[in-house]
Structure 1
Amino acid sequence: MIQPFAFPTTVGFVDDNANFLANLSLQLDARLAFRFFNSAEHALDAVNNAAAFAPTTERFLARYHDRAEQSDDQEVIAMRIDAIRRQVNNARRFECTSVLVVDYDMPDMNGLELCRRIKHPALKKIVLTGKADEHLAVKGFNEGIIDRFIRKQDPGAFEALNQAIDEMKDAYLRHTQSTVVDALALSEYRFLSDPAFATKAREIFKQFDIVEHYVSVRPTGLLMLDGAATPFLFVVYAEDALRAAREIAIERDAPSEFFVELDERRSVPYFWESDGIFPIERESWRRYMHPSFVVQGQEMYSCALIERPQGLDLGTIFPYDDYLDQLDRGAQLAWGS
């Protein structure tokens, strides 16, 4: 499936061996945001403080007040889609640490003890060690404090590490939004769980070098950004949403040409100036239409891809490329003091 939101996160590496860290930096993906620590205490402070920028389910939930029953024992909780999308305006979102790669044998604190003291439950931990003692891995897994164990001296250790980092970053995102996924599964955002839609979305991610995305409301779909924060809007109309748009257009006496465009799936609307519905100024409808394509999955989705869409407040977004440059200027190395 496509997660309701995804943005690049930071990977922390903790090892008291500076030469090893310098060599490791050459083996990592060039697009990976990472920080190095040669002090376990310094890493622990940085990671636990960065947890404040981590996405949590509570930020996307709110009491639903528009209901007849006002009793506290009938409390209704609503999902705030707008809050999910507003994460893109958080300039520090990339600072969130999703994975920590920890050496076991360090002078101030061993790797397992460091993992025990991490506050954020979703953060994934990989122990990377020169020791061949299997009981360390068993102990860490039994306590539930580590997610992977890799020996430095094993053939292909760097390849295994890069693969594990990718898997753990994905697992981190799944962990932090499992409740959101469940809440959206029966809504107009059910396309996220459709394999055919997921395949098409990943094609678009690859074609336009998309690095982050967020579910969008009015219109329903995905707001996507590349590394330079160029915005793209992936508009998605399921059949019921298309019918609803058509019914409102009928009520507003839309011209016949509009219905031809809609019914023949030539284009779909993005009404950014009229709260997502057909504008009262009926003759202006053409400026809101965008060429469409169909994704056939569990349902038929009429979609459009809009580069630099109007109507969204996206002027102050901090780009991922700038964050990588910022890390480079700081040498990506946070030495303990």
Structure 2
Amino acid sequence: MSLPLYTHPTLTVLVDDSDSFLRSLAFQLDPIHASKTFHDTTTALHWLRHGDHGRRGTPPPPPLHMNFDTQNQPGDQFNVALDIDAIYRIAGQPQRFATPSVLVVDYSMPQMNGLEFCELVSDLPCKKILFTGAADEKIAVSAFNRGLIDRYIQKSDDHALDILELELTTLQRRYFTDQSETLRELVLLHNYHFLGDPVLALQVQRLKQDLGFIEHYLFANPTGIVFLDKFGRTRLMMIETEQGMAAQYEMACDSDAPQSLLDALGARRVLPFFSDVDGDGMYARHMGDNWQRYCATPQVCQGRETYYWALFDLPPHYYAQPPLAYTEFLRQERELANAAASVTSTRRGRQRDRETTP
């Protein structure tokens, strides 16, 4: 099991020429799978290419920066700087939930079939499910082998909805794994080896399931994972290795920390998160004997190496403004959908009035 650098809820895009089927399917899906529906393939294509999912707020800055040193390096070489903090700041972007990660498309549609549709969006990173009662298995296998689709589900299957929800969860996870793979390989070269440890990855997944976290992001200082639940509440899973604990001890020694703190650090009885606004994450002299309020009792995770971890509340100063909660995003989406339905109903009513007026 690998751990993506970040995950958060996303949009499932449903494309089917039956408007009633779309409404029924969207209603039956678990709310964790927010969806956007299209019964017209042209409209769906336009939205995927030019829709508002990339404009709901300021796009997050790219974490990778190229630095071209024309004096000291050949022209075909460059340095790469990675802004780790840009990863956890994705949670501060309201539009993150509007990212389309999985496309569920019918096969038999009047303007084009589902595979033709998938071919037109084959360059997009979203995963694709052919969800249909028309295409036979040979067509689906051929499309899978060509890389046009990632899954094939028959609508006629008695457990079609359960299978769909299971595959949505799997493919959304794969979406984030693929999206962060390059960055993940880079950070694994530095102080984030826990990302490649399956035992620690399993611990993260258990915490998400047990405590209801639906988002996670790599955190740089101190090293760890930031979690958010559906209400936008944040927690930090601070993760230290033996080397990191030794660094905490040495810094505390250099800062003339109380002997009680040094003893606790040396015995691995506490894991400190010195989270003052102007601090660097390490003990500072002004903390004095109040160091206990920054500390928690660590849990031990024995993977490829020994990890010490604990959960802390993340102080609000780490974000410019509180992250948009997923529950609030869903409420806003319902309001938009209701407003659109109201406009459509009004237009249809006016059309009927014109048709019946002598």
By the TM > 0.5 criterion, same fold?
yes
| Residue matched to 2:250 | 247
1:188 to 180, 186, 191: 191
Distance 2:117 2:146 in 1: 13
| Residue matched to 2:240 | 237
- Whether contact under 8 Å (1:37, 1:334) holds in the other structure is no
Matched, 1:303 2:309: yes
Distance 2:317 2:61 in 1: 27
Distance 1:327 1:282 in 2: 45
Distance 2:33 2:112 in 1: 26
Residues 162-202 of structure 1 deviation map (CA, whole Å, 9 limit, x = unaligned) = 22212211111111111112112232211122222122222
Residue correspondences, number: 335
Distance 1:300 1:159, change over 3 A: same
RMSD: 2.8
| Residue matched to 1:13 | 14
- Identity, % of aligned positions: 33
| Matching residue's letter, 2:90 | Q
Q: Give the deviation of 1:106 after TM superposition.
A: 1.3
Matched, 1:279 2:284: yes
Distance 2:46 2:15 in 1: 12
Runs of 5+ consecutive residues of structure 2 not aligned to the other structure: 348-358
Residues 3-23 of structure 1 deviation map (CA, whole Å, 9 limit, x = unaligned) = 111111110101111222233
Matched, 1:39 2:40: yes
- Whether contact under 8 Å (1:272, 1:310) holds in the other structure is no
1:265 to 245, 268, 278: 268
Runs of 5+ consecutive residues of structure 1 not aligned to the other structure: none
> Counterpart of 1:306 in 2: which secondary structure?
strand
Distance 1:119 1:2 in 2: 25
- Whether contact under 8 Å (1:99, 1:125) holds in the other structure is yes
- Whether contact under 8 Å (2:60, 2:90) holds in the other structure is no
TM-score (norm 2): 0.85
| Residue matched to 1:149 | 152
| Residue matched to 1:312 | 318
When Rg is computed on C-alpha atoms for both structures, the one with the higher figure is 2
Matched, 1:207 2:213: no
In the TM superposition, 1:158-197 aligns within 5 A as 158-197=161-200
Matched, 1:124 2:130: no
Q: Give the deviation of 1:332 after TM superposition.
A: 8.1
Q: Which has the higher contact order (CA 8 A, sep 6+)?
A: 1
> Counterpart of 2:285 in 1: which secondary structure?
coil
2:101 to 98, 101, 105: 98
Distance 2:60 2:322 in 1: 25
> Counterpart of 2:62 in 1: which secondary structure?
helix
Residues 261-302 of structure 1 deviation map (CA, whole Å, 9 limit, x = unaligned) = 112222111122211222132515333223322222211112
| Matching residue's letter, 2:134 | K
Matched, 1:86 2:92: no
- Whether contact under 8 Å (1:57, 1:177) holds in the other structure is no
